[in-house]
Amino acid sequence: MSKRQTDARASTPVIDDEETVGMVLEYELEAPPEKIWRALTIQEYRERWLPGSDLAVVEPMAEVTGEQICFRMRDSDPPHLESVVTFQLTPQGNGGTVLRVTHRLIDSRLVSPMPGAANSNEPVLMQAA
């Protein structure tokens, strides 16, 4: 059994080109994607690290089997902002997996119902995985 450290590759939030505020974090995990997929999708396993009380809906919003899955989240603290978290799995050559966590606010109080901002070159639709 390898004793190699499995810490985050980059645990600092970064910004990308999507429309709303949030964070993207990447972790290198010493487990194959199939195993992490089970930890994400089997409710009993998921509850042990991502409790349903932190989710707005315990059923995933969307998924691509074995690759990515989205959940809607609701902050338990006021003002209970709603967000979407997407987990993406990328297999690594060493048998491990990079888990990418993309977490964005989608709260209607923050996202304008306008058909698009002046400098937006993308549709306003949320990602549909």
Partner 1 sequence: MMENDIFKALADPTRRMIFEKLASGSMNASSLRDGVEISQPAMSQHLAILCNAKLVRQERSGRFVNYEVDPDGLAMIANWLAKYRAYWPARIDALKDLLKDMDQ
Residues of this chain that interact with partner 1 (CB under 8 A) are 6, 8, 11, 13, 15-17, 19-21, 23, 25, 27, 29-31, 35-36, 38-39, 45, 48-50, 75, 77, 79, 81, 83, 99, 101, 103, 105, 109-112, 114, 117-120
Instruction: Please tell me whether residue 63 adopts helix, strand or coil conformation.
Output: strand
Closer to partner 1 by CB, 30 or 67: give it: 30
107 with 82: CB under 8 angstroms?
A: yes
CA-CA-CA-CA torsion sign (124, 125, 126, 129): negative
d(CA 125, CA 113): 10
Closer to partner 1 by CB, 70 or 99: give it: 99
Closer to partner 1 by CB, 111 or 129: give it: 111
Least Å distance between CB 54 and partner 1? 8
Closer to partner 1 by CB, 54 or 59: give it: 54
Least Å distance between CB 57 and partner 1? 17
H helices within 22-81, ranges in order? 33-41, 43-49
Least Å distance between CB 93 and partner 1? 19
Closest CA to 10 of 23, 26, 22: 26
Strand 62-64 vs strand 97-105: parallel, antiparallel, or unpaired? unpaired
Least Å distance between CB 103 and partner 1? 6
